[in-house]
Structure 1
């Protein structure tokens, strides 16, 4: 069974995602799809619209066969470690033959050439990045500029002109860097992203809009039907069900009480111990609190935002405080050791066949719940990351207004979702 891996958030699963799945199967000749999916908190540091089980269900009913969870320290990291965790998990399954990601360019050859340089981190690349940061550039801008300079110096003008500033091109590059560093035998593929851009905030005419635009429609109009023309029926079905149950939609407003409690309680020195907080951001946060006119996370981010402290970086920092992700959890050694388990969120009958193969082929223990981590020999980092996943569920459940205390510990007893053909 030829299997393709995809790296997703599905926040929410929309027609563009369905196109990517269909094209991934077509260009790779795959018979099955394994998806690595972020849990309750996402790569841009924000909470997911629906919980991870609901989103896994949309993935399975939308064309995936097996959904595994990307642990929260990777899921909420910048591109380098987000990609390392996702590609590493696909490789660790032992059953994924290839992986396919969307990009603005659709040019795998250029991306591979750039990844060859970046994966080795030559001294001139590191030096150029440091110069860019010293000049006040954000890390993504400093990184892109340094890569362009080094590629041009090596005579690859085509790769030097590659549009790295486009978000899916950037993620794709980091997927390939991780693939090279891991020494994976999976075949990489990319397909061109169609119509809506990753950050497009407005929904265009037609049937495809970005997830950002769809979330804006949902929160702006206050009803699931606002996105009906841009999503498959399964997404609307699941979103309606979660909405009626009071579990969705979740955004920063639902998390503000938990977050502000921590920001008020923690001193600057304590705040400095959390991931993505440094260079004086801890003092900036403390000064911003009394300057707020409204107790809203978006207003706080607006006061904190600078050229260096982008909205995404600030959201990741606030999520780290909210979930208790400390700098020790984010050190390269901890992140390399943190790929210690494969957590299954759901599967189809075909996915169940893959699971049987994984029992023999996987490089890591396969867990059907967090409780399965006990006695699995995960190591300190792995056990810590599994605990963080479970903690994220509790925090998210409180934000979603959980009335049942069991919802706070759902990771320990919830079995994988099984979706069978209708």
Structure 2
């Protein structure tokens, strides 16, 4: 009888071990391949938007460090220009060829998160009891949430006002005194423009005339408005928006703005020293600081709007994983690694993005005056509101802005007609 009990116990123990070995899910160790020298190496396909040399170099360094500490996992990086990125990612998802992990722009995530493409990271965060969750700035963590799930972690970019101190001096302006009010922005832009033989060679302010919703929104937020409401319906034909676009068109016609595309691969005018002011991302100005010297660039909170608003535009890049990845544990392990304090601080320092961890704030602020301004701007910052109609609104807003800048229609007519088309398309989609 005793022998039978021992034999039975042994069988149950063996069965339990076998079941444990076969079980998966968030509780399973993601380092299994690393602990077994005979295990097949796991390859994670990783897409990241942007091909700037500084950015791609920083991304590669994160990957190299990860692979050194996780020898059973290899990360294959594909860098794609922003202008082509979302279309290629959409095609990849449609064909079932999506990468395991990828970056997503702010608007891209909030407009597609309801399509069931992305992995909910919440179970992995909870299973790991990940301390980083409590270290994140709450608003930034919430930016990647949808219906109780966590579908991305944000590397934020804040867009305060930047200006070239050397260009201010050339124009006879105090290099330490940027615009203080909304109207000052336009007055300074006129004073700062530079022309030769009747042609503008340097803009007073960098406002993109094609795909230009971001610079437009940076100004509109100061007026206390947005270009669509909480239900996703367009509001860019409001009186305040019409008045703003009319002022922007006046700058363009006077030569204080030069034609440019927000998504041009070689960078916007300010980044290329072709504009004196810009609502530029900290990441976008990082390479310029390195090339001309940080002492030539000033950073400040956005000038106050008529009602005292100094709301800065907050965008950035989310890291997320595909819902159908074959390696969800390893995908989460890589994302979690990226957001460890040391790693995200190093990445932010090199690229100009902002570390979203509260524990990294003091160290990051010490690295430069612009960093302190960026963190201060986060106290009053807004990104795109979550809406499945985001892409429709952006499409017609872009058309309205281009028609206005190119003189095809007066701003009021361009904004009104395109807002109406947006409403019709949204209604038809329901």
Q: Which has the higher strand share?
A: 2
Considering fraction of residues, name the structure with more helix.
Answer: 1
Report if TM-score (shorter chain) is over 0.5.
no
TM-score relative to the length of structure 1: 0.29
